[in-house]
Structure 1
Amino acid sequence: MDPQIADLARTAGTTMVTLMATSAWESARDGMVGLWRRFQPARADGIAEEYEAGRADLLLAREAGDEDSESELAAEWQGRVRRLLLAQPEVADELRRILDELSPALPESPPHSVGEIHMKAEASGSGRVYQAGRDQHITER
């Protein structure tokens, strides 16, 4: 699979789930549902309902302190967007435009981390590698 498609789908899924709990939710939902309405009109109403159900699930999960639900929802939407992009690659430009419009609405530092981190390192001899996706505290003596 084209890595650009995977990255675009990942960004779209994460952006939408992040915005589900913000005041920008309605415009984010309208933009994405409009995308489906344009390229797969038969699915648009169902997608709108699924976005609303996902938002309700996210808000309930946050109230309950369930941090896993957010990453699960992001992965679910990443998959849906990826499949749309694979079926209709011409969607990519419109999706990028929508994401560009939504990016100012993203919180500076989201309350919950969503997404993936890929790291690679090599050490040889006596070398050491320390990697972290977030805070890291190392005490050596």
Structure 2
Amino acid sequence: MGAGVVTACPCRTPADARPYAACCGRYHAGPQHLRAPDAEALMRSRYTAFVRDELGYLLATWHPETRPTTLAPNPPGIKWLGLEVRRHTPLDADHATVEFVARHKLGGRAERLHELSRFVREDGRWYYVDGRTP
């Protein structure tokens, strides 16, 4: 991309087209690296990391008790279509759930992941624990 081009963050809708650097990018790198302020911000930053194939960030934000040892990059030709956060529910100061729908298209076939994800905060950092279909 050319100098001065501002890229909209993938986690947002066109109506809320925040720049990547001011949205999820600040949690992917820089002074706020790995410091999403709440479970919804972490979930959005993880979606954006999936879109951008930032596998190191995904592993670093996955709770060690449930984290896989490796992740595969996106398959060639995948097109991420968007994220809808349906609900962010803080359960207490260190636990929350986020219900979301993420959509993508691969090989002409549209798919969606609808998940109710669990998050935990430890030592001031939020982690993805696991998810299930609601």
- What range describes the TM-score normalised by the shorter chain of this pair? 0.3 to 0.5
Give the TM-score taking structure 1 as reference length. Answer: 0.31
* Higher helix content, 1 or 2: 1
Structure 2 length as normaliser, TM-score?
0.32
| Structure with the largest fraction of strand | 2
Q: Which has the larger radius of gyration?
A: 1
